[in-house]
Amino acid sequence: MIFTTKAEYGVRLLVELGRQGSDNPVSLKAIAEAEGLPLAYLERIVALLKKADLVESQRGAHGGYRLARPPAEITMDEAVLALEGVVAPMSCFVDDSVERKGVLCSHHEDAGHGCATKLLWTRVQGGMVEAMKRTTLAELIDFSARHGSGVFPNQLVTING
């Protein structure tokens, strides 16, 4: 599998936040219950989104999270990058900069003149990133609304309260 549940849960979290509009912050607890996801785990995931300035938080009672920007201005490559850390096909291929531990890239004593596989991974990464760049959060929100993905199509409902 390519992405972890961080990406899956994190994007769903953004979608839920987008449904709420930007008026009141939404608590993680409400989202966790609506989506059936573990709260403690969501907390760690939303921290990644906040660090990337995709969501804003308000602490204290009646606090929660809201989108930092309108959904149409949030592209999925930002979101997934924030959630997964790095989106690269191979460890010797981390955004053509970082270290290449583990897999020996090309051969023993080379500077960056590229493995035989470099062309392939470059294209694959390009295809993925391009697909994510052209997908906005607004599209996902619209898609999920039309296909009834949520339990509550229009408004989040807090189960216990």
Partner DNA sequence: TTCATTCCGACCTCGTTGGTAGGATAAAGC
Partner DNA sequence: GCTTTATCCTACCAACGAGGTCGGAATGAA
Report angle CA 114, 116, 119 to the nearest 5 degrees. Answer: 75
Contact 84, 4 (CB under 8 A): yes
Contact 161, 29 (CB under 8 A): no
| Contacts to a second copy by CB under 8 A | 1-3, 5, 7-8, 11-12, 15, 35-37, 76, 86-92, 102-104, 106-108, 113-121, 123-124, 126-128, 130-132, 134-135, 139-141, 143-144, 147-151
In whole angstroms, the minimum distance from the beta carbon of 118 to a second copy comes to 8
- Smallest CA-to-CA distance from 139 within 56, 80, 76, 90 is with 76
In whole angstroms, the minimum distance from the beta carbon of 10 to DNA comes to 10
| Contacts to DNA by CB under 7 A | 4-6, 9, 27-29, 38, 40-41, 43-44, 46-47, 50, 57-65, 102-103, 161
